[in-house]
Amino acid sequence: MSFRIGYGYDSHEFKAGVPLVIGGVSLEHTHGLAGHSDGDVLLHAITDALLGAVAAGDIGSFFPPSDPRWKGANSAVFLAEAMRQIALAGFRVVNVDTTMILAAPKIVPHAARLRKRVAELLNVAPGCVGIKAKTPEGTGTENAAIAHAVVLLESIQLETMLQEAEAEVDSELSVMRAGDGEGVQ
């Protein structure tokens, strides 16, 4: 069996006059997250977790903040590149678990939408995406959003081998049943 685990982290300060985008979803709030791109702290953490799981570097090595092409960029582009990197390495996402730390907005009312969007971007079922949030009580980070992400990847070759083995067993069982003169009932 071949599995990989990746961990990602990101943080951005809140800034007035900037739209708030978390997990690829626009949320109504008085402030958005400052960043060279759209500041999507959740997608950035997931991107780093994916890249780290296959030892491909980090988000900055693919999308440096010094490069003007990424100014205001949709972070789904970063996640798509991370998905490409894990596919090139022969892996796919099994599940992701995330925790955000922010004072506001409350994430619970938006968690289902966030889960659905992240699942779409990762090509997994929504039940494979954990979205949690905590308040930053006593940490002095009330003006920031922080995201932690852990991903589990599995080898695509492993799945292919299992499917081929299963098909071979099914074929042998069919031959055995046909040789007995009995059909499958």
Q: How far apart are the C-alpha atoms of 63 and 79, rounded to whole Å?
A: 11
Closest alpha carbon to 110 in 49, 15, 24: 24
Domains in the chain: ranges and CATH:
3-156 (3.30.1330.50)
Q: What pLDDT, on a 0 to 100 scale, did the predictor assign at position 114? A: 98
Confidence label for 184 from pLDDT (cuts 50, 70 and 90): very low
pLDDT value at 159 more than 70:
no
Q: What is the pLDDT of residues 66-89, one digit of tens each?
A: 888 888 889 999 999 999 999 999
Confidence label for 29 from pLDDT (cuts 50, 70 and 90): very high
Cross-strand bridge partners of residue 92: 154
- Which region, left, alpha or beta, applies to residue 77 given φ > 0 means left and ψ of -120 to 50 means alpha? alpha
Q: What pLDDT, on a 0 to 100 scale, did the predictor assign at position 68? A: 85
Cross-strand bridge partners of residue 155: 91
Report the percent of the chain where pLDDT is more than 70.
Answer: 91
105 CB neighbour count, 10 Å cutoff: 17
Terminal Cα distance for the chain, rounded = 35
Residues 6+ apart with CB under 8 A from 23: 40, 42, 43, 113, 114, 117, 118, 131
Closest alpha carbon to 141 in 13, 42, 8, 28: 13
